Chain A
Amino acid sequence: MKEYDSFDNTLFMKLICVMAAIALVCVVVFVIIGAVDSGTQTPEETDNGYETYLFPETNAPTTTAAPTETTAAPADTTAAPDDTTVAHADTTTAPAETTAAVGSLTPLPASSVILAETTDMSQSYIDEIIFFGDSTTYGMGPYAVLKDGKQTTQVWTPVNGTLTLDQAVKKKIKYPETGEEITAAEAAAAKLPKYMVITLGVNGVSFMNEEQFITEYVKLVQSIQAASPSTKIMLQSIFPVASNYEKLDAINNEKISLANTWVLKVAEQCGVKYLDTASVLHDTDGWLFASFQNGDGMHFNADGYKVVLDYIRTHGYAE
């Protein structure tokens, strides 16, 4: 009679051996696969079965500029011109070694939505305008160029002073009436401003194509129109940059002039007006006049903002 308690030649023992062999094969295969994968994917770590793709360091900021209050703060305290005539110090500014020659700029096509020159609408007109935008608008506060100076309630920008068009609909501004963070549409619904000048897009020209730019800008304008249908909206041209701007590879006047044609298309599509303020801000080579900026090549000083406001006053939105 066979002794069933002997394991030497039972079926059970054979089964265990087969399982062990399969397991050994699996281990070997797994080790081989892991060696091959580590050679092609170079994961930083492999742990618990997932691969980590560490994002490589790219463009660390070359400047360690302080936050907005130093970039937008007045660079000087010298008196601004007393009159409102357009003044520019240098019309022969030589361009830097990069692009932005006149020939590479995209001209703005004619359009019925471009606000034409009018008589001076006066300061009371400016006082009724809400200025909504990015850092090129933010500086109007610190430079005290509007009613109530640095305590003006006419400037709508996010807390950090910057705004990119691709997130403009949902990004919250600091609503100056209450200090709370709300969207531009919510602010428009609360304030119901008579006029609004929107200046956006300079941050987006470095990475947005025409379709994305126009889609997002239209959405933004329409959200404000829905919130405050009676507000007369003016889309202001993106301002040119000066030859000393450090990131001309990303943002330059060639891209800006092209993007301004997109801004014009948005104005036409949404039934709002376009302010071609950029036309009085650049020299014959397309550069922002050096005397209008605060030193970084993009952001304005008090002189620059007064030229902007003068243009807005003399290209009024008729009732």
Chain B
Amino acid sequence: MKALTSLRALAVLLLAALALAACGGDNYKTDVPVADLQSALEPLIEHADHLDTADADYLRFNFAGTDAADERLVRLPVSGTTLDEYGIFRAASADGTAALADACEAYLQTRNDAWLGLYLVEEYPKLRDAEVKVIGNYVVYLILSEDEKAAVIEKIEETLK
């Protein structure tokens, strides 16, 4: 009887621990520099050597509404052979991610609207299927192949845990 009671208590304790862990929500780090994420994920991008960092003007004109982000990084394709591109924005808190995500979506919409459909046609699915993801305090947009997107997201999550 005593043993059964002990077991029951232990089970309840385990349940409580599990439930609290579930209720704990995301446990992503919030202070990983964007440059560290860049270093972690770019080896996963085939055409990473064709990317260059967008300057302040590019961010100002194309990502209005992201000024409040703690850090911003946009990597653009500089070769005429690929559309590969991505951006990482770190919000001060999880509350700030919605605005950053909206800005990224608006940017992708503009890019798609401006697509003339004549050049790099084989690359267009990357732009058409571009994704915006929120991971903790970080907002990422990805214009990459499906495989690279999955690998990059996994790497970011891993780096932030």
Contacts and interface: CB of A to CB of B under 8 A. Distances in A.
Interface string B28-60: 100000000000000000000000100101100
Contacts, number: 166
Contacts of B132: 53, 55
Interface string A40-81: 000000001111111101111111111110010000000000
B124 A68 contact: no
Nearest to A64: B121
Contact of A172 (B16, B17, B80): B80
Nearest to A24: B19
Contact of B26 (A22, A49, A158, A216): A49
Which of the four size classes fits the interface of chain A?
Answer: 35 or more
A68 B16 contact: no
Contacts of B2: 5-7
A20 B15 contact: yes
A23 B80 contact: no
A116 interface: no
B120 A50 contact: no
Contacts of B18: 23
Given A53-B101, A172-B78, A207 B113 contact: yes
A160 B117 contact: no
Interface in B1-31: 2, 5-6, 9, 12-13, 15-20, 22-23, 25-26, 28
Interface in A6-28: 6-8, 12-13, 16-17, 19-20, 22-24, 26-27
B114 A160 contact: no
A250 B108 CA distance: 16
A50 B26 contact: yes
Contacts of B73: none
Contacts of B128: 55, 57-58, 60
Given A20-B15, A206-B113, A216 B57 contact: yes
B23 A53 contact: no
A87 interface: no
Task: Determine which residue in B16, B112, B120 has the highest number of CB atoms from chain A within 10 A of its CB, and name it.
Answer: B16
A181 interface: yes
A8 B62 CA distance: 66
Contacts of B52: 170
Given A66-B121, A166-B58, A52 B133 contact: yes
B131 A54 contact: yes
A55 B16 contact: no
A105 interface: no
Given A61-B121, A159-B81, 18 more contacts: A7-B2, A7-B5, A20-B12, A20-B13, A23-B19, A26-B20, A29-B23, A30-B23, A48-B26, A49-B136, A50-B26, A50-B133, A50-B136, A159-B79, A167-B58, A167-B76, A171-B80, A172-B78
19 contacts: A6-B2, A22-B16, A23-B18, A23-B23, A24-B19, A26-B19, A27-B23, A29-B23, A55-B108, A57-B129, A59-B115, A60-B124, A63-B117, A71-B118, A160-B119, A162-B118, A173-B80, A207-B110, A215-B61
